[in-house]
Structure 1
Amino acid sequence: MGSPEMGRRALFALGTAMAWRAGAARAQPGAEAYPSRPIRFVVPFAAGGNSDVTARLFASQITARLGQAVVVENRSGATGAIGTEAVVRSRPDGYTLLIGSPGSIVNGPLLMAAPRYDTMADLVPVALLGQAPMVIILRPGLPVRDLQQLVAFSRTQPRGVTIGTSGVGGANHLPLELFKAATGANLVHVPYRGGGNTLPDFVAGNVDGVLIEMSSVLDLHRDGRGRILGIAAAHRSKQVPEVATFIEQGIDGFVAASFVGLFAPAGTPEPVLGALQGAISAAAADPEVLARLEAIGNNPPTGAELTTPGTVAFLQGELAKARQAIAIAGLKPE
């Protein structure tokens, strides 16, 4: 049975969808109905990561609601800059859209000496699709069961403990640097081209651990191929209730999550944005979608996160936090 909260979400989504569809219906006479052909979601990271999984979930939902296929295309490289730039340079007609995350939207541009795009000027946020808390997962063969043991063990290793992330400036990189600064752990950063690319090396034992979205490694933890040591959230997850938060393990205020959002090139018509937002809002209130997001460890978007102004405000806050983290970690643009 649905909860009262789920019912409120459904009513909100229905109202939002109807309002945006009404706006789309008031498009200028003669304008092409949207969508009239397949839509492309560009994921600027390798397949298998949180951005990719969330993109495919919502792609199927938008396909069902708007009546056109939504194709997911992975274009990884340069911490998401290659795929992001391709969308920025595309025609602003709603048929080429970006699946954005902290690495490509927030951290990456701040750590580039010569950014290829201006996040806030060259893209318009459509809506958030979800947020996934970060975790540290370690190979089960290592004598480490929690974060304090990780810190202590790392200090005994002359070459440190290797921790993979999605890349320099990626969604996982800054939390790793902040963790090192907060604990003095001897961790060696191993950057990959996207979160999904770290996992085969981790499973093969070529890297000791990974700092990544919980949704990407739940199965590895559950079947014993990895051990999640801590979750960087305010509260424990229902998916892994046995895992303590970073805060519970003595790292005050340590919260880190990776958002996934849908973005369009600047100049995309309002009716197009409205049609997409209506479909996303309806999907975000669907009990099956909510269950799937929860199963993979993602928090669903709600309220203002399903609108352009609300997502802009969210991103401004994320940019401010990232600048602070970069300064604390002593990272320099390259």
Structure 2
Amino acid sequence: MSSANKSSFMGFLDRHGQDDWWSAVNNLAPLIHEVDQDATKIWFYFWPLWVRNMLQDAEANPQLLEELEFKGVARLEQHIDSSHAFVYGHRYWPQVKMAISERASSQAAFESLDLVDEVRAISSQVAGEVKADVSLVIGITIIGFMTLHQVGRAAFDTAEGNLHISDWARRRSPQKVHADRAKNDEGGFLGYLKGLKRDYTIRFDEGFKRATFKLIKGVQLTQASMLDQADHPYANNRCEPGDGPIPTECRSAACGTCWVGILGGNDHLSEVNPLERRRIARFGYIETDEPRPLIRLACKAQATGNVTVVIPTWNAVAGKYLEGKRIAIGGHSSSESEENVAKPRRH
């Protein structure tokens, strides 16, 4: 790396491996508004550095995608403006993107800067411009930094910076969104009569009011999704006829197609059983001892209340690939290298 590149903003970002990014996310988490604390972490699980590197490897070895049973679209260049639509701070994306682009074009020296400090500085600047609490901007700002790091300045600067949520979503306050994620459908007298047959609402896209389907108490998320016959124009690009809004293939935790992030209602889901825990690690999504992690397989997660999920744009069976690359499950490095210099941590 040339001395000029080392002193550039891109050189500054390139010095940070996956562990460094996770460390920054965890350090910033207490400062992020509660509506976006989990959403920010889910984004980093959906868009880890290893996916970018894997796609680069696949350019020289096209068979790699078949070996990993890869499906969907995981090139962040194709989702610069939309990958974070489920983050409340997405509504400030045009201003955040512009501020990051201006910072990246700066001629200042960046050798001694700190990633967390840089994120906080841009967040404060944008919060002042849009007259929002800075806690609502921090999450989308570090996502913007990582997006720039992965796609490069040319792609980042030429992206239009559009919003990918409806006017209905834009009008909702962070307090309203957070409260709605935690509550259950009341059901009233009819709900009382239904008893064990009580149904709940599963929201699969907070950007659109009608992006929901119903679930009978105790049913897996994928089963309820497949029973939904509504024509959702915002359904996931991997959905096949009969899937419903959540992409589904095997329904037995064998393929990894139905992985989702849990934005709300986590305590309304069954705990991870041993099979699901092994498989989400085998797929390369997350390795954790938490009973109810942020990443779940929808075919194994039973709901007993309202749940809000977010659906990624890709799936794979990548655990062995990550092991071969000495990258820990979830994207954290397990060896020191040019791009991964910190020791692995679990989140």
TM-score bracket, shorter-length normalisation: under 0.3
User: What TM-score do the two structures reach when normalised by structure 2?
Assistant: 0.26
More strand by share: 1
If asked which structure has higher relative contact order (CA below 8 Å, sep 6+), I would say: 1
User: What TM-score do the two structures reach when normalised by structure 1?
Assistant: 0.26
